[in-house]
Amino acid sequence: MLMSPARPATAALITLLAALPGCSKPDTAGWTGYAEGETLYLAAPVAGRLSQLAVEQGQAVVDRQLLFTLDPGPETALSAEAQARADSARAQALDADKGRRREELAITEAQLRQARAQLDLARADAQRQQQLQDQGFVARARADDAATVLRQAQARVTELEAALQSARLPARDDARAAAQALARAASSAKAQSDWRMAQLQQAAPQSGRITAVYYRPGEWVNAGQPVLALLPPAQRKARFYVPEPALGQLALQQRVLLSCDGCPAAVPARISYIAPQAEYTPPVLYSNQQRAKLVFMVEARPEQVQEAERLHPGQPLDVRLAP
């Protein structure tokens, strides 16, 4: 019996359809990627000349270890000025809460004693002149003059008593409030100066490795300009690209294994990020097959911090799902 010529063509078509990407099973054997690092750029919030660089590129540092120091000369002078202003304002505030000095009070008290003595004399003279005027020995004008002197002496005593009482009082409430406000402002300025002095020395915010040094001792560093770059182990991660058909099998915190050339064992990691949008090609191309795929960027971080040290930024990685 002769074979129909249509059967070989049908078999070839079935074979071709089976080979299409859309009809094949998602490839979950593994993906390629690379190591990435989120570098910390360390700078001082104040400007100054770099006087000391305590670390070198590639050196491992621990948390709070001194990294660099700026010249404290200008800030030292500003701090001394702020301290003097704070002392002056504080002294003025304390002075506003006090009366006059004891020596000044002694002068007023002496004047008051003298005025009281004169009052006694004026009172006695006024009484005597009034008696003489009643007996007809002196004119009425003479008695009136003595009464006037008596009133003046009484007024002088009252004046000095009020002056003495006022001298013992502190400054007025408004003046005291103003002095206290100036003292607080000066204290705040001194606190700012102390903070600027403290910022001249910068320490490592966490343990890691120095990946770059941008300035050397003697160079001027502007405020906020990075002097060093620090890469903590916890900031190392893997970035890889997953084809769209395999994306449904991945989830956050899912466990994956990272392999690299020459690594003795795979590094366990967990997925920390899945891109919400697709890309047509990954930034780093590894093969012609990947260029034609619709891929999603995925990031994974090592489970153990010590294992993260094995990941070097830019290093190619092979990623596969953990069993």
- Bridge partners for 68 per DSSP: 53, 202
Share of the chain above pLDDT 90, in %: 40
DSSP 249: G
Domain limits, CATH 2.40.50.100, in the chain: 41-71+199-231
Coil vs helix vs strand at 269: strand
Average pLDDT, stretch 275-301? Answer: 72
Residue 66 structure tokens: 């001194």
> Domain 27-37+234-321 sits in which CATH superfamily?
Efflux pump adaptor protein, beta barrel domain (2.40.30.170)
Bridge-partner residues for 17, per DSSP? none
Q: What is the mean pLDDT of residues 31-60?
A: 95
CATH 2.40.30.170 location in the chain = 27-37+234-321
* pLDDT tens per residue, range 59-91: 999 999 999 999 987 777 777 777 878 778 777
207-258 per-position pLDDT tens digit: 999 999 999 999 999 999 999 999 999 999 999 999 888 888 899 999 999 9
> Does the pLDDT value for residue 172 go beyond 50?
yes
41-71+199-231: CATH architecture: Beta Barrel (2.40)
pLDDT at 275 over 90: yes
Q: Is the pLDDT of residue 150 over 90?
A: no
Residue 240 Cα distances to 32, 106, 231, angstroms: 6, 89, 20
